[in-house]
Chain A
Amino acid sequence: MYKTILVPLDGSPRAETILPHVISLAAHYKARVVLLQVVEPIVAMVTPYDMVPYVDKEAADRVLQEVKSYLTAKEGELRGQGIEAKAVVESGPVVSTILDVAEREQADLIAMASHGRTGLARVFYGSVAAGILQRADRPLLLIRAQD
């Protein structure tokens, strides 16, 4: 049933806790796995001569490179287990970019770990998973990562 599973990661071990679930699902369904990391634009607020915020192109490129090599390593791990995997790095606002990529890749499942904030932190910050939960138009597999 699931042909393409989209897995948003953020470089943290917590986000990776979804991977064992994805691996067994993908193996059962012979599904393709798209690993996605969304990089939000870095805006540096402290500038030497004026107060105009600017985007640090160099830092952004460095982050992009790090993210790419991280995702490629994960992609290799999945392929090593016989799963068809593809790494995608995008920049933009996290939630809407995840949904755009899901649409573009025709993912029929989005699988991710939630950080499971509680109390006030949850009210103020929400979480990416909660944002996806409110907006996604396709099935979601979510697990709460332990702190």
Chain B
Amino acid sequence: MYKTILTPLDGTRESEMILPQVETLAELCKAKIVLLQVIEPPPPHVAAVETEALREGLAHRTSEMQHYIHSVEARLQQQGFTVQALVRQGNVVETILEVAEECGADLIAMASHGYRGLTRLLHGSVAAELLHRASLPLLILRASEPKA
């Protein structure tokens, strides 16, 4: 039924809570799993001042994330899944939608952090934003509240 399942991760334990769901679905549908980690670039006003430090920080973070996502990829491959892991830079929601199109995903499966109150108003959540923009089905699991 689903052929390609896109799973955005962000390196947190909460975001990994969706994986058991993805594994079961992928097994049932013999679907390919695409893991995606998006790294957001710093806002332009910060980028203009702290160029050097930021570039280093970003490079460091990128390699850390690559290491992380490839370890998840390896674990899923060991279980016999067809997996592809990607690390991209850009706006989170935009990038998820771009990659979904690129890899022909027919489902996006992810955990939502479920912000509440003011945090929710200010940041929204990636899942809520996707809900309003994605044209493909979303499988969302709300992870427990982040400790404030």
Contact = CB atoms under 8 A, between A and B. Distances in A.
A76 interface: no
Contacts of B134: 144
A142 B112 CA distance: 13
- In this complex, the member of A21, A29, A133, A141 whose beta carbon has the largest number of chain B beta carbons within 10 angstroms is A133
B29 A28 contact: yes
B138 A143 contact: yes
B133 interface: yes
B140 interface: yes
B1 A116 contact: no
B139 A144 contact: no
B89 to A, nearest CB: 26
B138 A142 contact: yes
B119 to A, nearest CB: 12
Interface stretch (B43-51, B52-60, B65-73, B124-132): B124-132
Q: Is the interface of B mostly helix, strand, loop or mixed?
A: mixed
Contacts of B128: 130, 133-134
A116 B131 contact: yes
B4 to A, nearest CB: 16
Nearest to A134: B114
Given A25-B1, A28-B28, A139 B139 contact: yes
A142 B131 contact: yes
B142 interface: yes
B120 interface: yes
A122 B116 contact: no
A130 B139 CA distance: 13
Nearest to B135: A144
30 contacts: A1-B24, A1-B28, A28-B1, A28-B29, A29-B28, A114-B132, A116-B131, A116-B132, A129-B131, A130-B128, A130-B131, A133-B112, A133-B128, A133-B140, A134-B114, A134-B120, A134-B128, A134-B142, A135-B142, A139-B139, A139-B140, A140-B138, A141-B140, A142-B137, A142-B140, A143-B136, A143-B137, A144-B131, A144-B133, A146-B135
Interface of A: 1, 21, 24-25, 28-29, 114, 116-118, 122, 129-130, 133-144, 146
